[in-house]
Amino acid sequence: MKVVEQFFLAHLPTPLELMSRLTDVVDGPELWIKRDDLTGLATGGNKTRKLELLLCDALDLGSDVVLTVGAVQSNHCRQTAAAAARAALDCVLVLRGHEPPRSQWTGNLLLDDLLGARIWWAGDQDPLVTLEAAAEAERTAGRRPYVIPYGGSNPTGAAAYALAFEELWGQMLAVGVYFDRIVFASSSGGTQAGLVVGAKGCFYDGQVVGISVDKPAECLRETILALLPPTAAHLDLDLTFSLEDVTVDDHYLGGGYAVVTAAEREAVRLLARTEGILLDPVYTAKAMVGLLDGVRQGEIGADETVLFWHTGGVPALFAYAEALLQGP
Protein backbone atom coordinates (compact mmCIF):
# COMPACT_ATOMS: atom_id res chain seq x y z
CA MET A 1 0.00 0.00 0.00
CA LYS A 2 0.95 3.63 -0.48
CA VAL A 3 2.69 5.13 2.54
CA VAL A 4 0.38 7.82 3.95
CA GLU A 5 1.86 10.70 5.94
CA GLN A 6 0.27 10.99 9.36
CA PHE A 7 -0.10 13.40 12.23
CA PHE A 8 0.52 10.86 14.97
CA LEU A 9 -2.20 10.63 17.59
CA ALA A 10 -2.88 6.93 18.22
CA HIS A 11 -1.08 4.35 20.32
CA LEU A 12 -0.42 1.71 17.67
CA PRO A 13 -0.54 -1.16 17.12
CA THR A 14 -3.56 -1.72 19.33
CA PRO A 15 -3.57 -5.03 21.22
CA LEU A 16 -4.93 -8.25 19.74
CA GLU A 17 -6.20 -10.44 22.59
CA LEU A 18 -7.85 -13.82 23.04
CA MET A 19 -11.08 -13.56 25.05
CA SER A 20 -10.69 -16.92 26.74
CA ARG A 21 -13.36 -16.47 29.44
CA LEU A 22 -15.98 -15.22 27.00
CA THR A 23 -15.12 -18.11 24.69
CA ASP A 24 -15.76 -20.54 27.55
CA VAL A 25 -19.01 -18.87 28.57
CA VAL A 26 -20.58 -18.92 25.10
CA ASP A 27 -19.27 -22.45 24.45
CA GLY A 28 -18.78 -21.66 20.80
CA PRO A 29 -16.07 -20.33 18.50
CA GLU A 30 -12.73 -19.01 19.68
CA LEU A 31 -13.26 -15.28 20.25
CA TRP A 32 -10.59 -12.60 19.95
CA ILE A 33 -10.71 -8.82 20.27
CA LYS A 34 -8.85 -5.97 18.57
CA ARG A 35 -8.60 -3.16 21.12
CA ASP A 36 -9.17 0.08 19.22
CA ASP A 37 -10.75 1.35 22.41
CA LEU A 38 -7.11 1.74 23.48
CA THR A 39 -5.90 4.14 20.76
CA GLY A 40 -5.23 6.60 23.56
CA LEU A 41 -6.70 9.94 22.46
CA ALA A 42 -9.12 11.25 25.12
CA THR A 43 -10.12 7.66 26.06
CA GLY A 44 -9.50 6.33 22.55
CA GLY A 45 -11.67 4.84 19.85
CA ASN A 46 -11.64 4.08 16.14
CA LYS A 47 -11.89 7.71 14.99
CA THR A 48 -8.38 8.42 16.26
CA ARG A 49 -6.90 6.44 13.37
CA LYS A 50 -8.97 8.44 10.87
CA LEU A 51 -8.10 11.74 12.52
CA GLU A 52 -4.38 11.09 12.12
CA LEU A 53 -4.86 11.33 8.36
CA LEU A 54 -7.57 13.99 8.39
CA LEU A 55 -5.67 16.35 10.68
CA CYS A 56 -2.53 15.89 8.61
CA ASP A 57 -4.56 16.99 5.59
CA ALA A 58 -5.97 19.96 7.51
CA LEU A 59 -2.48 21.08 8.53
CA ASP A 60 -1.14 20.65 5.00
CA LEU A 61 -3.93 22.89 3.71
CA GLY A 62 -3.13 25.57 6.28
CA SER A 63 -6.44 25.26 8.10
CA ASP A 64 -6.78 26.85 11.51
CA VAL A 65 -10.16 25.48 12.61
CA VAL A 66 -11.68 22.01 12.31
CA LEU A 67 -15.44 21.44 12.14
CA THR A 68 -17.45 18.26 12.30
CA VAL A 69 -20.90 16.99 13.17
CA GLY A 70 -22.50 14.26 15.26
CA ALA A 71 -24.96 13.22 17.93
CA VAL A 72 -24.90 14.66 21.46
CA GLN A 73 -22.81 11.70 22.66
CA SER A 74 -20.69 11.46 19.50
CA ASN A 75 -17.42 9.61 20.01
CA HIS A 76 -16.19 11.07 16.74
CA CYS A 77 -16.80 14.64 17.92
CA ARG A 78 -15.01 14.00 21.23
CA GLN A 79 -11.96 12.58 19.46
CA THR A 80 -12.00 15.40 16.89
CA ALA A 81 -11.92 17.95 19.70
CA ALA A 82 -8.98 16.13 21.29
CA ALA A 83 -7.12 15.83 17.99
CA ALA A 84 -7.63 19.53 17.27
CA ALA A 85 -6.23 20.40 20.69
CA ARG A 86 -3.13 18.30 19.98
CA ALA A 87 -2.70 20.02 16.60
CA ALA A 88 -3.20 23.53 18.06
CA LEU A 89 -6.30 24.01 15.93
CA ASP A 90 -9.64 25.45 17.04
CA CYS A 91 -12.58 23.04 16.96
CA VAL A 92 -16.26 23.62 16.25
CA LEU A 93 -18.72 20.78 16.84
CA VAL A 94 -22.23 20.76 15.41
CA LEU A 95 -24.42 18.53 17.58
CA ARG A 96 -27.92 17.30 16.83
CA GLY A 97 -30.88 18.66 18.71
CA HIS A 98 -31.14 21.28 21.44
CA GLU A 99 -28.68 22.09 24.20
CA PRO A 100 -29.47 20.15 27.38
CA PRO A 101 -29.19 21.71 30.86
CA ARG A 102 -25.62 21.92 32.11
CA SER A 103 -26.47 19.35 34.79
CA GLN A 104 -26.88 16.82 31.96
CA TRP A 105 -23.51 17.51 30.34
CA THR A 106 -21.94 14.10 30.91
CA GLY A 107 -20.05 11.47 28.95
CA ASN A 108 -18.69 12.66 25.62
CA LEU A 109 -20.46 16.02 25.86
CA LEU A 110 -18.60 16.83 29.07
CA LEU A 111 -15.32 15.87 27.41
CA ASP A 112 -16.11 18.07 24.39
CA ASP A 113 -16.28 21.04 26.73
CA LEU A 114 -13.13 20.09 28.65
CA LEU A 115 -11.26 19.73 25.35
CA GLY A 116 -12.14 23.27 24.38
CA ALA A 117 -14.57 22.71 21.52
CA ARG A 118 -17.06 25.40 20.56
CA ILE A 119 -20.49 23.83 20.14
CA TRP A 120 -23.27 24.74 17.74
CA TRP A 121 -26.63 23.11 18.41
CA ALA A 122 -28.57 22.17 15.28
CA GLY A 123 -31.94 22.35 17.05
CA ASP A 124 -34.69 21.37 14.63
CA GLN A 125 -32.48 22.03 11.60
CA ASP A 126 -30.63 19.43 9.53
CA PRO A 127 -27.22 19.21 11.26
CA LEU A 128 -25.45 19.27 7.89
CA VAL A 129 -27.10 22.60 7.09
CA THR A 130 -25.95 23.91 10.46
CA LEU A 131 -22.45 22.58 9.76
CA GLU A 132 -22.25 24.56 6.53
CA ALA A 133 -23.51 27.67 8.34
CA ALA A 134 -20.84 27.21 11.01
CA ALA A 135 -18.14 26.79 8.36
CA GLU A 136 -19.33 29.92 6.55
CA ALA A 137 -19.24 31.86 9.83
CA GLU A 138 -15.61 30.81 10.27
CA ARG A 139 -14.77 31.94 6.72
CA THR A 140 -16.49 35.27 7.31
CA ALA A 141 -14.37 35.70 10.45
CA GLY A 142 -11.25 35.27 8.31
CA ARG A 143 -10.48 31.68 9.31
CA ARG A 144 -9.59 28.70 7.12
CA PRO A 145 -12.02 25.93 8.12
CA TYR A 146 -11.50 22.22 7.48
CA VAL A 147 -14.80 20.33 7.48
CA ILE A 148 -14.84 16.65 8.46
CA PRO A 149 -17.97 14.63 7.58
CA TYR A 150 -19.94 12.37 9.93
CA GLY A 151 -17.57 9.84 11.46
CA GLY A 152 -14.61 11.06 9.42
CA SER A 153 -16.00 8.82 6.69
CA ASN A 154 -14.48 10.11 3.48
CA PRO A 155 -11.70 8.43 1.45
CA THR A 156 -8.98 10.02 3.59
CA GLY A 157 -10.54 8.83 6.84
CA ALA A 158 -11.48 5.40 5.50
CA ALA A 159 -7.90 4.85 4.30
CA ALA A 160 -6.87 4.72 7.95
CA TYR A 161 -8.80 1.47 8.35
CA ALA A 162 -7.22 -0.07 5.30
CA LEU A 163 -3.92 0.59 7.08
CA ALA A 164 -5.48 -0.79 10.28
CA PHE A 165 -6.28 -4.04 8.51
CA GLU A 166 -2.67 -4.23 7.35
CA GLU A 167 -1.67 -3.82 11.01
CA LEU A 168 -4.03 -6.65 11.98
CA TRP A 169 -2.68 -8.85 9.18
CA GLY A 170 0.82 -8.51 10.58
CA GLN A 171 -0.44 -9.42 14.06
CA MET A 172 -2.27 -12.46 12.70
CA LEU A 173 0.92 -13.69 11.04
CA ALA A 174 2.96 -13.03 14.19
CA VAL A 175 0.52 -14.83 16.49
CA GLY A 176 -0.33 -17.60 14.03
CA VAL A 177 -4.09 -17.04 14.08
CA TYR A 178 -6.54 -16.71 11.19
CA PHE A 179 -10.00 -15.21 11.60
CA ASP A 180 -12.92 -16.71 9.74
CA ARG A 181 -14.82 -13.48 10.24
CA ILE A 182 -14.30 -10.01 11.68
CA VAL A 183 -17.27 -8.36 13.42
CA PHE A 184 -17.62 -4.68 14.37
CA ALA A 185 -20.10 -1.80 14.69
CA SER A 186 -20.82 0.04 11.44
CA SER A 187 -22.55 3.41 11.15
CA SER A 188 -21.15 6.13 8.88
CA GLY A 189 -19.42 3.52 6.73
CA GLY A 190 -15.80 4.69 6.78
CA THR A 191 -14.42 2.06 9.13
CA GLN A 192 -16.07 -0.74 7.17
CA ALA A 193 -15.00 0.67 3.80
CA GLY A 194 -11.41 0.86 5.00
CA LEU A 195 -11.44 -2.67 6.39
CA VAL A 196 -12.87 -4.02 3.13
CA VAL A 197 -10.15 -2.26 1.13
CA GLY A 198 -7.46 -3.50 3.51
CA ALA A 199 -8.84 -7.04 3.48
CA LYS A 200 -8.82 -7.16 -0.31
CA GLY A 201 -5.34 -5.63 -0.44
CA CYS A 202 -4.06 -8.34 1.92
CA PHE A 203 -5.91 -11.15 0.06
CA TYR A 204 -7.96 -11.98 3.16
CA ASP A 205 -10.76 -14.36 2.24
CA GLY A 206 -12.74 -14.36 5.49
CA GLN A 207 -15.87 -12.29 6.17
CA VAL A 208 -15.77 -8.61 7.15
CA VAL A 209 -19.12 -8.14 8.92
CA GLY A 210 -20.47 -4.73 9.85
CA ILE A 211 -23.30 -4.73 12.40
CA SER A 212 -25.38 -1.68 11.55
CA VAL A 213 -26.29 0.42 14.58
CA ASP A 214 -28.65 2.89 12.92
CA LYS A 215 -29.27 2.35 9.18
CA PRO A 216 -31.02 -0.28 7.08
CA ALA A 217 -28.52 -2.64 5.46
CA GLU A 218 -29.28 -1.52 1.91
CA CYS A 219 -28.68 2.15 2.72
CA LEU A 220 -25.43 1.53 4.60
CA ARG A 221 -24.19 -0.89 1.95
CA GLU A 222 -24.64 1.77 -0.74
CA THR A 223 -22.66 4.27 1.33
CA ILE A 224 -19.82 1.79 1.80
CA LEU A 225 -19.78 0.71 -1.84
CA ALA A 226 -19.45 4.34 -2.93
CA LEU A 227 -16.46 4.81 -0.59
CA LEU A 228 -14.50 1.73 -1.71
CA PRO A 229 -13.01 2.90 -5.05
CA PRO A 230 -11.86 6.36 -3.87
CA THR A 231 -10.43 4.86 -0.68
CA ALA A 232 -8.41 2.34 -2.67
CA ALA A 233 -7.30 5.07 -5.05
CA HIS A 234 -6.17 7.21 -2.10
CA LEU A 235 -3.75 4.39 -1.24
CA ASP A 236 -2.70 3.76 -4.87
CA LEU A 237 -4.35 0.33 -4.79
CA ASP A 238 -5.69 -1.03 -8.05
CA LEU A 239 -8.68 -2.97 -6.75
CA THR A 240 -12.19 -3.72 -7.97
CA PHE A 241 -15.20 -4.25 -5.75
CA SER A 242 -18.63 -5.81 -5.94
CA LEU A 243 -21.75 -5.97 -3.79
CA GLU A 244 -20.52 -9.28 -2.34
CA ASP A 245 -17.57 -7.50 -0.73
CA VAL A 246 -19.85 -5.59 1.66
CA THR A 247 -21.60 -7.57 4.41
CA VAL A 248 -23.96 -5.52 6.57
CA ASP A 249 -26.23 -7.05 9.19
CA ASP A 250 -29.09 -4.81 10.30
CA HIS A 251 -30.94 -7.31 12.49
CA TYR A 252 -29.72 -5.71 15.72
CA LEU A 253 -30.99 -2.15 15.41
CA GLY A 254 -33.18 -2.87 18.46
CA GLY A 255 -35.10 0.18 19.56
CA GLY A 256 -33.12 2.42 17.20
CA TYR A 257 -29.98 4.54 17.36
CA ALA A 258 -28.78 5.10 20.94
CA VAL A 259 -31.78 3.26 22.41
CA VAL A 260 -30.60 0.83 25.09
CA THR A 261 -32.54 -2.44 25.35
CA ALA A 262 -32.10 -5.59 27.41
CA ALA A 263 -29.89 -7.04 24.66
CA GLU A 264 -27.37 -4.19 24.89
CA ARG A 265 -27.40 -4.33 28.69
CA GLU A 266 -26.64 -8.04 28.61
CA ALA A 267 -23.77 -7.57 26.13
CA VAL A 268 -22.18 -4.76 28.18
CA ARG A 269 -22.39 -6.75 31.40
CA LEU A 270 -21.24 -10.04 29.88
CA LEU A 271 -18.02 -8.62 28.45
CA ALA A 272 -17.37 -6.58 31.60
CA ARG A 273 -17.87 -9.58 33.88
CA THR A 274 -15.90 -12.10 31.82
CA GLU A 275 -13.04 -10.05 30.33
CA GLY A 276 -13.05 -6.78 32.29
CA ILE A 277 -13.57 -4.93 29.00
CA LEU A 278 -16.12 -2.13 28.66
CA LEU A 279 -18.43 -1.68 25.68
CA ASP A 280 -20.48 1.41 24.93
CA PRO A 281 -24.28 1.08 24.71
CA VAL A 282 -24.68 2.80 21.32
CA TYR A 283 -22.16 1.10 19.00
CA THR A 284 -20.05 -1.73 20.34
CA ALA A 285 -22.77 -3.27 22.51
CA LYS A 286 -25.02 -3.64 19.44
CA ALA A 287 -22.14 -5.25 17.54
CA MET A 288 -21.55 -7.66 20.42
CA VAL A 289 -25.28 -8.46 20.49
CA GLY A 290 -24.97 -9.47 16.84
CA LEU A 291 -21.90 -11.60 17.50
CA LEU A 292 -23.44 -13.37 20.49
CA ASP A 293 -26.70 -14.02 18.67
CA GLY A 294 -24.81 -15.44 15.70
CA VAL A 295 -23.09 -17.88 18.05
CA ARG A 296 -26.29 -18.81 19.87
CA GLN A 297 -28.23 -19.34 16.65
CA GLY A 298 -25.45 -21.49 15.17
CA GLU A 299 -24.83 -19.07 12.29
CA ILE A 300 -21.26 -18.74 13.57
CA GLY A 301 -19.83 -22.22 13.83
CA ALA A 302 -18.18 -23.58 16.97
CA ASP A 303 -15.11 -24.45 14.88
CA GLU A 304 -14.58 -20.84 13.77
CA THR A 305 -12.12 -18.27 15.04
CA VAL A 306 -13.77 -14.85 15.22
CA LEU A 307 -12.43 -11.34 15.82
CA PHE A 308 -14.49 -8.62 17.49
CA TRP A 309 -13.03 -5.23 16.54
CA HIS A 310 -13.69 -2.89 19.49
CA THR A 311 -14.22 0.61 18.11
CA GLY A 312 -14.36 2.38 21.49
CA GLY A 313 -16.96 4.72 22.97
CA VAL A 314 -16.59 4.10 26.70
CA PRO A 315 -17.44 7.70 27.81
CA ALA A 316 -21.02 7.21 26.61
CA LEU A 317 -21.55 4.65 29.37
CA PHE A 318 -21.88 7.48 31.88
CA ALA A 319 -24.55 9.25 29.83
CA TYR A 320 -26.67 6.08 29.73
CA ALA A 321 -26.31 5.02 33.36
CA GLU A 322 -30.04 4.99 34.06
CA ALA A 323 -30.81 2.82 31.03
CA LEU A 324 -27.93 0.45 31.80
CA LEU A 325 -28.96 -0.01 35.43
CA GLN A 326 -32.42 -1.27 34.54
CA GLY A 327 -33.03 -5.00 34.92
CA PRO A 328 -30.89 -7.59 36.72
| Residues with catalytic function | 74
Contact 277, 38 (CB under 8 A): no
Q: If you write DSSP's letter for every residue of 168-222 in order, what string do you get?
A: HHHHHHHHT---SEEEEEESSSHHHHHHHHHHHHTT--SEEEEEESSS-HHHHHH
* Distances 214 to 97, 240, 251, 288 between C-alpha atoms, Å: 17, 27, 10, 15
Spell out the long-range contacts of 25-29 with Cβ–Cβ below 8 A and sequence spacing 24 or more.
Answer: 25/270, 25/274, 26/292, 26/295, 26/296, 27/302, 28/295, 28/296, 28/300, 28/302, 29/180, 29/295, 29/300, 29/301, 29/302, 29/303, 29/304, 29/305, 29/306
